[in-house]
Amino acid sequence: MNLSEIVGNNIRFHRTKQNISQEQLAEYSDLHPSYIGQLERGKKKPTIDTLYKISRGLKVPLTTILGGIDELDDTNDNYPYKCYLLVSKQTAPNQVVLYEILQNALSIK
């Protein structure tokens, strides 16, 4: 996973957590909705100004949007973070299902 994908996942995670559409976030951030989608998919590399606008639109600190960039080294064994990244790419209903699967798997002895 590259830096743009991590930032995009963070944007998507906090947007969906707040139940905000891409169109709403674009309006709050003074950006185009299709650009928000491209950022979330890691297809575009945002400027610091753009990240600041998005963090204001989401009402989260800029550091929240940049969270996880220290974990770019895939050689480490940071499995909780890798799980987070994997799950954060999913839709909210799929996240619930994955959580239940994990919860059930952990209760099996």
Q: Which domains does the chain have, with CATH numbers?
A: 3-107 (1.10.260.40)
pLDDT of residue 89: 76
Per-residue pLDDT tens over the stretch 76-94: 666 777 787 788 778 889 8
Structure tokens at 94: 């799929």
pLDDT of residue 108: 77
- Of 15, 66, 6, nearest to 42 by C-alpha is 6
pTM (2 decimals)?
0.67
User: At residue 65, does pLDDT exceed 70?
Assistant: yes
Per-residue pLDDT tens over the stretch 6-50: 899 999 989 999 999 999 999 999 999 999 999 999 999 999 999
Distance CA 68, CA 7 (A): 8
